Structure 1
Amino acid sequence: MKKTIVCAVVVGIFVLLISGNFLVKKVWSSNNDDAQYIASFIEEHKDEKNSALLVKRNDKVVYSVNPNVVLPVASTMKLIVALEYTKQVTEGKIDPSSFVSINDVNRYYVPNTDGGAQDRWQRYLQKTDKITEGAVSLEEVAKGMVKFSSNANAEYLMEVLGLDNINRNLQSLSLPAHQPLFPIVSSLYIPGYLHKELHVPKYKIEKKLKEMSQEQYREYAMVIHERLKKKGPLLQKEIPLYLEERYDKIWSDRLPAASANDYMVLLQ
């Protein structure tokens, strides 16, 4: 699976790294080894155009590699969802203390596709006694998305906040290279949707996925999202989940993409 790292290392220096790994991490460190590792990695791979690095010191760019190369940002896109959540809380549009059913959140959970994020979040909720009669506060859902990188929580919040509202932040923040967000859990069903409902022969699915436009891919994800919202895991009885490595890589490559410069603007 092609993955993405966003990494900030700060000792008076702000570093933003986007590369071809799926770990999404923000690190605040005074360890020179961390900075050296990042610099060495980027230097070795800069010509491959699969990584990007921006380093700022006191608001001045001191190192820049591929800052405008657009790459899949994976879980980093959850920062955009978190931003819209914060805006709607501040504007009084949503109540962070309102309780929502964990079962409703878990409608968007597909086991063994998130690196154990959902399981870790729910163990944390149980350990800290955050669950009341099978429900948890909306604030905890948002925290779970950010702290544990929960894909299910992110897609649930896309429904609550409105995907159009979330994507408007890309324009208001002047992030022109950032592709629109879409339901990333629902997109896991696209291979099965093509085969089962659009009658694409299985041997042609991979080719179809690679050739379709990103806009078409997002549209399929939205169609599936509406059904997943109603049926949750039961949707698998209608649309099979094809999670083989070749589909997994396409899923990863199709995740919303952006440049390092976009996220430097966002994180400042």
Structure 2
Amino acid sequence: MRTQLLYLLLLSATYLAEAQPTSPDVVVDFIRANPTRSALYVIRNDTVQIQLRPDQTMPLASAVKTIIAIEFARQAAAGKINPAERIPLTDLDLYYLPNTDGGAHPGWKQWLSQRNLIENETVALLDVAKGMIQFSSNANTEYLLDKLGTDTVNASLKMLHLPNHDPLYPIVSALFLYSVPPANSAKTVDETRRLSAKAYRAKCQAIHNRLKQDKDGLFKQSFIFPDMALQKVWSDRLPGSTVRDYASVMQKINSRTYFPPAVQTILDSIMEWPFAVNPANKGVYTHLGMKGGSTAFVLTNAFYAETLKGNRISAAVFFNNLTPDEFQLLSKEFNNVTIRCIGKAQSAAMATALAK
């Protein structure tokens, strides 16, 4: 049984450049057999190639962080924030809950340290945004949501034309709603499920404000790790959207024309981390960016690519209500799914197989 909550889409050092040997029917079979638990949308050169359950709302997990990255780039380009501003690590650590992010936040800080990017226990604001996307640091996410303004980030959903997107809220803080003794688990499940979306977000924001002031760490020390029933409610209530919406977000980034050049440049520096993880990608792609995420029950990925031949692909694939075995199976195949969506012949074959 997995104990960590915000499971990362784990990326190896060889991520994406080439597909590994696989059974091509594993994911296709799952999608065909589980229409309420899977969705896929692929756009090739502005033409929709695959759309399965395009408007089925599902929890986004960490894929939602793309929205924050876009608002970060917009505010940085407008001079509202300074990407070079030095941020104390202690300010970020206020929102870090040990063992709830798959080691993302400590891994990001170790990566910074190895590259001498930490100065007097501070990091550049741009590196905070990069850590949110590449490492999926939830602490960085909560900090940036506060820095940029939750209301401002949510207002950008309209600018991006995302009609099916739920408002964002502090998802680390949300965990405290489920921080109860085991004896109170069933009652808490019932109470939190009955909260309206507005009331739920308000409670999460109030907890965020407490964490922001928790300089001595006493409030955070009171955290009780939720059991799986509580984790399921937390996962179900994460901000949701559709594969159509997220493929459209990727298409906007990939077009190089939707955002002003200054915004695009900053956004590229945040989203196109796969080139740093695997330099071999430069031999295949001109542009390549993505953000995936997961919980114990959810697996998502949204990505874009432009090949050296000039083909542009934007896609999103979501899974929800997974069992542990299904999660393991699908997560192992995610790199290959991405490759197959990008490859013209492979994606066409997948579309044909899914249509049967």
TM-score tier, shorter chain, comes to: 0.7 to 0.9
**In structure 1, what is the Cα distance between the partners aligned to 2:141 and 2:41?**
27
- The corresponding residue for 1:236 is 220
- The corresponding residue for 2:231 is 248
Offset at residue 59 of structure 1 (A) = 1.4
**In structure 1, what is the Cα distance between the partners aligned to 2:159 and 2:200?**
24
Kindly tell me: are residues 215 and 255 of structure 1, through their superposed partners in 2, closer, same or farther at Cα, counting changes over 3 Å?
A: same
Question: Residue type matched to 1:231 in 2?
Answer: D
Check whether the contact 1:24–1:76 (CA below 8 A) recurs between aligned residues: no
TM-score with structure 1 setting the length? 0.82
**In structure 1, what is the Cα distance between the partners aligned to 2:23 and 2:149?**
38
Offset at residue 142 of structure 1 (A) = 0.5
- Is 1:180 paired with 2:186? no
**In structure 2, what is the Cα distance between the partners aligned to 1:42 and 1:29?**
24
Q: Give deviations 1:3-34, integer Å, cap 9, x for gaps.
A: xxxxxxxxxxxxxxxxxx95558975564967
Offset at residue 35 of structure 1 (A) = 10
Offset at residue 62 of structure 1 (A) = 1.9
Q: Give deviations 1:198-254, integer Å, cap 9, x for gaps.
A: xxx6651111112222222111100111111110532135x5434222211211111
Question: Matches of residues 116-155 of structure 1 in structure 2 within 5 Å?
Answer: 116-155=103-142
Any gaps of 5 or more consecutive residues in structure 2? 252-356
Offset at residue 44 of structure 1 (A) = 2.7
Offset at residue 92 of structure 1 (A) = 0.6
**In structure 2, what is the Cα distance between the partners aligned to 1:86 and 1:265?**
18
Any gaps of 5 or more consecutive residues in structure 1? 3-20
- The corresponding residue for 1:58 is 45
**In structure 1, what is the Cα distance between the partners aligned to 2:185 and 2:47?**
52
**In structure 2, what is the Cα distance between the partners aligned to 1:184 and 1:227?**
14
Question: Residue type matched to 2:168 in 1?
Answer: L
Percent identical pairs in the alignment equals 37
Of residues 12, 27, 34, the one that matches 1:45 is: 34
**In structure 1, what is the Cα distance between the partners aligned to 2:114 and 2:163?**
42
Check whether the contact 1:188–1:241 (CA below 8 A) recurs between aligned residues: no
Question: Residue type matched to 1:82 in 2?
Answer: A
- The corresponding residue for 1:220 is 203
Question: Residue type matched to 2:47 in 1?
Answer: K
- Is 1:190 paired with 2:173? no
Secondary structure at the aligned position of 1:142 is classed as helix
Kindly tell me: are residues 246 and 172 of structure 1, through their superposed partners in 2, closer, same or farther at Cα, counting changes over 3 Å?
A: same
**In structure 2, what is the Cα distance between the partners aligned to 1:160 and 1:34?**
43
CA-atom RMSD, angstroms?
2.6
Offset at residue 38 of structure 1 (A) = 4.0
**In structure 1, what is the Cα distance between the partners aligned to 2:52 and 2:28?**
10
Kindly tell me: are residues 220 and 230 of structure 1, through their superposed partners in 2, closer, same or farther at Cα, counting changes over 3 Å?
A: same
Aligned length: 242
Offset at residue 81 of structure 1 (A) = 0.4
Secondary structure at the aligned position of 1:100 is classed as strand
- The corresponding residue for 1:105 is 92
Q: Give deviations 1:144-181, integer Å, cap 9, x for gaps.
A: 00000010000000111101111111111110110000
